[in-house]
Amino acid sequence: LSFAFVNLKPLLPGRVLVSPRRRVVRLTQLTDAEAADLFVTAKRVACTLERVYSASGLTVPLQDSFDAGQSVPHVHIHLLPRHPADLDHEGGPDAIYDHLEGEDGDPRRFLAERTRKRPR
């Protein structure tokens, strides 16, 4: 009932999206079985992402409508592997989004800089 796929331009390494096969815009439009499968699939993929990317946690957003920030009119869950240093840099836990905006939004550079600053 659900499937997972990798975004061609991921915000962070390892970003995966999970979506129901039936195209609906809102979470509330899914049947109970579809909603359950969506979240069970997300959980399974999350376990794999944590292992493969040595992640200590995940950011798991679901924007449920255009007004909630949904840019593609189809329910989907984002899974973004996170690490302790993601919260240790200047600007707080969401500073990476500032670096992703605008002309110098280069997540690879940001992550490389963050890794260099990480205390050993």
Instruction: Establish whether 83 is a catalytic residue.
Output: no
DSSP alpha helices (H): ranges in the chain?
32-52, 95-100, 107-117
Tokens of 7: 């975004």
Question: Which residues make Cβ contacts (< 8 Å) with residue 93, sequence separation at least 6?
Answer: 86, 87
CA nearest to 3, candidates 37, 50, 52: 37
Using a 10 angstrom Cβ sphere, with 0-12 exposed, 13-18 middle and 19 or more buried, the burial of residue 101 is exposed
Which of 76, 83, 89, 99 does the annotation list as catalytic? 76
The catalytic site residues sit at: 76
